Amino acid sequence: KAGVTQTPRYLIKTRGQQVTLSCSPISGHRSVSWYQQTPGQGLQFLFEYFSETQRNKGNFPGRFSGRQFSNSRSEMNVSTLELGDSALYLCASSTQGPPNEKLFFGSGTQLSVL
Amino acid sequence: AQSVTQPDIHITVSEGASLELRCNYSYGATPYLFWYVQSPGQGLQLLLKYFSGDTLVQGIKGFEAEFKRSQSSFNLRKPSVHWSDAAEYFCAVGASSGDKLTFGTGTRLAVRP
């Protein structure tokens, strides 16, 4: 069974640009969660989608958005990039979603904003 | 809202020595508790979890953790550390009445030869 796939692996953008990250969950998983990981801050929860609906959202500005498609693949978009958005973005999938399920993580997309 | 504290940012132990990583949580009811490990350049992998029952839980790679309600702690232990255990370890808590997982800031483990 293929694991969680995130593309691209690395991204370099400049301030003001926008970016779209992709996450393909494990087959059969309907929940996809997104996290931002920065040194010293750990993993900060962005949002969680289940069957194309956003079920939960973290405390991030509206520049961060996401969506989920009927095949459970998910994308997140960050508009008007800021230097502080440089981070590793991780997605995780599971069958029913948090809080009591094992999450399967992708290797992440490393975003650098210059 | 639940929260997690991992007081140790970095820990260095010698190979073969024992290990204990600390995790304290804040939540009013019985939480769902997890430990995940992240190797360099990788995503996170579940080591073990606690929902209810026996307060000492066994995980993969020889790790175990003990839930202590009176101390609001869920510390991770390993009797003998291997060089391959060098990684970052995250404790996470989920609320039984909630719908998200909250992670701690992580503890980076270095293993001295």
Pick the closest to residue B59 from B38, B78, B40 (CA basis): B78
- Write the pLDDT tens digit of every residue in A76-89: 999 999 999 999 99
Q: What is the pLDDT of residue B108?
A: 96
CB contact under 8 A, B43 and A102: no
Give me the pLDDT at residue A18, please.
98
In chain B, the residue whose alpha carbon lies closest to the alpha carbon of A90 is B43
| CB neighbour list of residue B27: distance below 8 Å, 6 or more residues apart | B2, B3, B93, B95
DSSP letter (8 states) at residue B60: G
Q: What is the pLDDT of residue A103?
A: 93
pLDDT value of position B52: 85
Cα–Cα distance for residue pair A51/A67, rounded to 1 Å:
10
Ordered alpha helix ranges (H), B2-111: none
Phi, psi of B95 (to 5 degrees): -85, 135
What H or E segment, with its residue span, contains residue B71? Answer: none
pLDDT band at B98 (very low <50, low <70, confident <90, very high): low
Contact list in B for residue A42 (CB cut-off 8 A) is: 6, 90, 103-106
Average pLDDT, chain A: 95
- Residue A74 is predicted with a pLDDT of 98
Contact residues on chain A for B9, CB-CB shorter than 8 A: 40
Nearest C-alpha in A relative to B33: A100
For residue A1, pLDDT over 80 is answered with no
Alpha-carbon gap, residue B107 to B98, rounded angstroms: 25
- Given a cut of 90, is residue A28 above it in pLDDT? yes
pLDDT the model gives residue A97: 85
Q: Which two tokens stand for residue A11?
A: 């991204």
CA distance A98 to B32: 10
Task: Give B21's strand partners.
Answer: B76
Above pLDDT 70, what percent of chain A?
100
Closest Cα to residue B31, out of B77, B76, B72, B71?
B72
My answer on whether omega of the bond before A61 falls inside 30° of 0, hence cis, is no
Q: What is the pLDDT of residue A100?
A: 79
User: What backbone phi and psi angles, to 5 degrees, belong to A85?
Assistant: -85, -5
pLDDT digit string, tens, across residues B1-22 = 788 999 999 999 999 999 999 9
Reduced DSSP (H G I as helix, E B as strand, rest coil) percent helix, strand, coil of chain B, to 5: 10, 50, 40
Q: Give the one of B42, B100, B106 whose C-beta lies nearest to A42's C-beta.
A: B106
User: Is the predicted pLDDT of residue B97 greater than 70, yes or no?
Assistant: no
Residue (of B86, B85, B100, B105) closest to A31 by Cα position: B100
Q: What is the mean pLDDT of residues A31-55?
A: 93
Residue in A42, A58, A99 closest to B98 by CB: A99
pLDDT in tens, B33-90: 999 999 988 889 999 999 888 899 999 999 999 999 999 999 999 999 999 999 999 9
Asked if A98's CB is within 8 angstroms of B99's CB, the reply is: yes
pLDDT at residue number B27? 82
